[in-house]
Chain A
Amino acid sequence: MPVEIDIAKVASLARIALSDEELRRYGEQLGAILEHAERVQQLPTEGIPPTSHPVPMTNAFRDDVVTGSLPAEDALAGAPEAEDGYFRVPPVLGDS
């Protein structure tokens, strides 16, 4: 069974503006892919810890040393819009 998903909500979480037609298409495709992916649920995994990282390591830290920053013009070089050394964006709707 293809998996039913609230594709509009997923697209909104992923912040991608899609038309109704695109939502329908992606919804179908995702449903089919998830039907395959759901196979992982067939394996019993009780008591099995998850693997987030393939090579077991801990405490990969760096010393607290300042190694420098980009010149502001490099930082802003790729900016679609900049003003007075700032990145400029359209008005922000929500609050963080």
Chain B
Amino acid sequence: MSDPADLTIKAAGDAMRAGELTSLDLTEAALERARITESHLHAFLTLDQAGAKEAAAAADAALAAGEDAGPLHGIPIALKDNMCTKGIETTASSQILSGWIPPYNATVVDRLSAAGAVVVGKTNLDEFAMGSSTENSAYGTTRNPWDTDTVPGGSSGGSAAAVAAGSALGAFGSDTGGSIRQPASLCGVVGMKPTYGLVSRYGLIAFASSLDQIGPFARSVEDAAVLLEAVAGFDIHDATSIRGDVPNIRGSLSEGVAGLKVGIVTELSTTGIDPEVREAVVQTVNELSDAGAEVVDVSLPSCEYGLSAYYLIAPAECSANLARFDGVRYGLRAAGSTTEEMMAATRAEGFGPEVIRRILLGTYALSAGYYDAFYGQAQRVRTLIRREFAAAYEDVDVLVAPTSPTTAFPIGERTADPIAMYYADVCTIPMNLTGDPGISVPVGLDSKGLPIGFQVMAPALGEERLFQVAKAVEDIAGFTARAALATSEVVQP
């Protein structure tokens, strides 16, 4: 048998239930992979070896006793470090939360625990999830396991890299403007942003509350669906969580695309898109057509304003969400002779430049005299974008586009140019503005050997159709390449 760390969740689960593999073996394999790769990658901020082994042993004991918690039973997974884990340091990659140990679990953490999953550690991110490269972490950059001179994308770069490298079989991230899908694309794994409100945000350190959504990373579409199923559903602690039944997520997974109508979004697939990425997307679309889908071009002209609207809405919300980091109750405190001075000094010292930039931007966009021209206008544009997408879904079942305009870019290339960095999310942001689900599936490699992601989008609560098409894309693309760092030659020197 190959290294268990390279198994899919599905395969590992089958092996465990067949008595060929224990959760402890699997978890140790993942931890061993992390031990070997971390010096190259820095995907994790915290590895909880003892806790993971303990949970794995407990999962084995439970399974032996006939208690099967479901498909995630005994599966080692990783969590982005902006999800609160009781008793385990949670920093959101910020100095301002250095050493902070939450006294409570995020809802997703409790649900994963109930589903029998084994948490191996907390992964690196751009500070407070603000960034597209994981270079904005206060604790060092994460590198792309396909090419360690390039970025893994962001902000959930640590989770994407961990799954790509085999240090976890699955992971969770948060997606505010593409922070799951874009790093999934750059790291050659599946990454999915659910419908806003499908997964509880309680315990997710908020960046932009009306855009943030937690979602899974996996090495297959089916695994991503399994991970989502474990955490989806109403939570009384999140007033924006959707009441009522969770949509059927895996129900149509193997049904293919014959008879479905697929729209390719012109505005997200042409201007500013790397030719190799464009070509891979077009090829995939053609193959969907060959598989029986009806493919049409769809123009959503308001999409071009999505990035602008996003860079007003997200900073505005973050300026309030991050106001609580003030040195009073937890986290860093800088010196100050008055509380006011202490707060201002703490925030200057504790936040990195990108976070400060966005707080200032959002503060300005909300301030008296500018609200209507900036924040108010951005929210009206948001309505226009939502309406355009809703109208498009009257005609097509799903929309498709590239996930990221480019493949992984070199570390340091865009750090001095915030606007160039912001463009990395141009294809993913519309889904956050509309609240609709989106998924990135790897479909090929560019000439540099870096993965290309294909994005499928569906209307709100259209997860069943989304996964159905994503699975078809996965099957068509037949993407089996593994990151350089995850291949046995490298990981077993």
For residue A60, give the distance in angstroms from its CB to the closest CB of chain B: 4
> Beta-carbon contacts of B350-363 to A below 8 Å, as 1s and 0s?
01000011011101
Contact B103–A45 (Cβ < 8 Å): no
What band does the interface of chain B fall in when counting residues whose beta carbon is under 8 Å from A? 35 or more
* Nearest-neighbor residue (CB-CB) of B358 within chain A: A33
Q: Which residues of A contact B243 (CB under 8 A)?
A: 57, 60
For residue A27, give the distance in angstroms from its CB to the closest CB of chain B: 9
> Beta-carbon contacts of B372-383 to A below 8 Å, as 1s and 0s?
011011111111
* 8 Å CB contact of A45 from B307, B348, B384: B384
Question: Contacts A15-B343, A54-B435 given: A78-B311 contact, CB under 8 Å?
Answer: no
* 8 Å CB contact of A55 from B100, B240, B327: B240
Residue A13 at the B interface, CB < 8 A?
A: yes
Contact A60–B240 (Cβ < 8 Å): yes
Question: Contacts A52-B210, A53-B210, A78-B100 given: A14-B340 contact, CB under 8 Å?
Answer: no
Residue B29 at the A interface, CB < 8 A?
A: no
Residue B101 at the A interface, CB < 8 A?
A: yes
For residue B321, give the distance in angstroms from its CB to the closest CB of chain A: 12
User: In the complex the two chains form, what is the Cα distance from A51 to B239 in whole Å?
Assistant: 17
Residue A91 at the B interface, CB < 8 A?
A: yes
Residue B249 at the A interface, CB < 8 A?
A: no
User: In the complex the two chains form, what is the Cα distance from A43 to B308 in whole Å?
Assistant: 11
User: In the complex the two chains form, what is the Cα distance from A60 to B401 in whole Å?
Assistant: 34
What band does the interface of chain A fall in when counting residues whose beta carbon is under 8 Å from B? 35 or more
Q: Which of B100, B386, B418, B436 has the most CB of A within 10 A?
A: B418
Binds A, one of B162-170, B220-228, B329-337, B391-399: B329-337
For residue B470, give the distance in angstroms from its CB to the closest CB of chain A: 21
* 8 Å CB contact of A60 from B239, B323, B376: B239
Q: Which of A43-96 contact B (CB under 8 A)?
A: 43, 45, 48-55, 57, 60-62, 70, 74-75, 77-81, 87, 89-94
Q: Which residues of A contact B331 (CB under 8 A)?
A: 78, 80
User: In the complex the two chains form, what is the Cα distance from A34 to B386 in whole Å?
Assistant: 23
Residue B415 at the A interface, CB < 8 A?
A: no
Question: Contacts A37-B312, A87-B329 given: A55-B336 contact, CB under 8 Å?
Answer: no
Q: Which residues of A contact B373 (CB under 8 A)?
A: 41
* Nearest-neighbor residue (CB-CB) of B236 within chain A: A62
Q: Which residues of B contact A79 (CB under 8 A)?
A: 329-330
Contact B338–A26 (Cβ < 8 Å): no
Q: Which of A1-37 contact B (CB under 8 A)?
A: 5, 7, 10-11, 13-18, 26, 29-30, 32-34, 36-37
For residue B313, give the distance in angstroms from its CB to the closest CB of chain A: 9
* Nearest-neighbor residue (CB-CB) of A42 within chain B: B305
Q: Which of A29, A50, A62 has the most CB of B within 10 A?
A: A50
For residue A67, give the distance in angstroms from its CB to the closest CB of chain B: 9
Contact A40–B364 (Cβ < 8 Å): no
* 8 Å CB contact of B210 from A14, A48, A54, A92: A54
* 8 Å CB contact of B361 from A17, A34, A49, A89: A34
User: In the complex the two chains form, what is the Cα distance from A89 to B343 in whole Å?
Assistant: 10
User: In the complex the two chains form, what is the Cα distance from A10 to B113 in whole Å?
Assistant: 43
Contact A55–B348 (Cβ < 8 Å): no
* Nearest-neighbor residue (CB-CB) of A82 within chain B: B329
Question: Contacts A43-B302, A93-B338, A93-B340 given: A36-B308 contact, CB under 8 Å?
Answer: yes
User: In the complex the two chains form, what is the Cα distance from A29 to B356 in whole Å?
Assistant: 11
Q: Which residues of A contact B374 (CB under 8 A)?
A: 34, 37-38, 40
Q: Which residues of A contact B380 (CB under 8 A)?
A: 43, 45, 48-51
Contact B311–A16 (Cβ < 8 Å): no
Contact B359–A16 (Cβ < 8 Å): yes
Residue B57 at the A interface, CB < 8 A?
A: no
For residue A92, give the distance in angstroms from its CB to the closest CB of chain B: 5
Question: Contacts A14-B360, A53-B210 given: A89-B383 contact, CB under 8 Å?
Answer: no
User: In the complex the two chains form, what is the Cα distance from A40 to B460 in whole Å?
Assistant: 24
Q: Which residues of A contact B327 (CB under 8 A)?
A: 80
Question: Contacts A11-B360, A57-B242 given: A39-B305 contact, CB under 8 Å?
Answer: yes
Q: Which residues of B contact A48 (CB under 8 A)?
A: 380, 383-384
Residue B319 at the A interface, CB < 8 A?
A: yes
Question: Contacts A17-B347, A37-B374, A39-B305 given: A55-B435 contact, CB under 8 Å?
Answer: yes
Assuming A15-B343, A34-B361, what are 16 further A-B pairs, CB within 8 angstroms?
Answer: A7-B360, A33-B422, A34-B374, A42-B305, A45-B383, A51-B380, A52-B210, A54-B386, A55-B197, A55-B242, A57-B240, A60-B241, A75-B103, A78-B100, A89-B328, A93-B338
The 5 closest A-B pairs by CB, nearest first: A54-B435, A78-B330, A50-B379, A80-B333, A45-B380
Question: 9 pairs across A/B with beta carbons < 8 Å?
Answer: A15-B340, A15-B344, A17-B345, A34-B361, A40-B305, A42-B305, A50-B376, A55-B242, A87-B329
The residues of A with any CB-CB pair to B shorter than 8 Å are: 5, 7, 10-11, 13-18, 26, 29-30, 32-34, 36-43, 45, 48-55, 57, 60-62, 70, 74-75, 77-81, 87, 89-94
